[in-house]
Structure 1
Amino acid sequence: MVQVAAALLFAVAAGLGITVIVAMLKSNEDAILSALLGEGAFPIAVAPKSGPAPRVLPLRRTGARPIRNAARPQPQFSRAA
């Protein structure tokens, strides 16, 4: 009896999994198929361009002043320990 219930539960789970896969294919068919074919989500013509930036922005220097920590250091262990 337990084996029959387990087999039915497995069949229901497998059917539900197949239903989810088919629903995903129907709603997102183009993106999934292009990813499987190795094209990716974007066609090559409209894909984001990679490489160096078109112009470089220099970083602003703040001077030679050291940065001071406003918080006072806390002891590593509490006094109660």
Structure 2
Amino acid sequence: MVQVAAALLFALAAGLGITVILAMLKSNETAILSALLGEGAFPVATSPESDPAVAALPIHRTNARRAVPRRMPVAMTVRPQFSRAA
């Protein structure tokens, strides 16, 4: 009985998934098909073009990382991770 209920639930979920996929295809058919064909959302001829950067801004680097004091190693006893019984 549980297997039948699980099978029906799985069939319902699969049917719902197929319904969602078909609804997406119906609303965005041209965009999806052009993406599958490799054209993309913007064909090469009509794609927006960006202007080249006139002057690149230099990256501002600070020496804040170098000013942080380094942690000193602490002498501690080494203990085995596992017990000898393991």
- TM-score, normalised to structure 2's length? 0.60
Name the % identity: 78
The runs of at least 4 aligned residues of structure 1 exceeding 6 Å deviation read: none
Q: Unpaired segments of 5 or more residues in structure 1?
A: 60-66, 68-81
Shift of residue 43, structure 1, vs aligned partner = 1.5
Q: Unpaired segments of 5 or more residues in structure 2?
A: 63-86
Measure the CA separation in 2 of the matches of 1:48 and 1:58. Answer: 21
Match of 1:57 in 2: 55
Q: Report Cα offsets for 1:55-77 as digits up to 9, x if no partner.
A: 61365xxxxxxx9xxxxxxxxxx
What is the root-mean-square deviation in Å for CA atoms of aligned residues?
Answer: 3.4
Q: Work out the number of aligned pairs and report it.
A: 72
- TM-score, normalised to structure 1's length? 0.64
After TM superposition, list the pairs within 5 Å mapping 1:41-80 onto structure 2. 41-49=41-49, 53=52, 56-57=54-55
SS of 1:41's equivalent in the other structure is coil
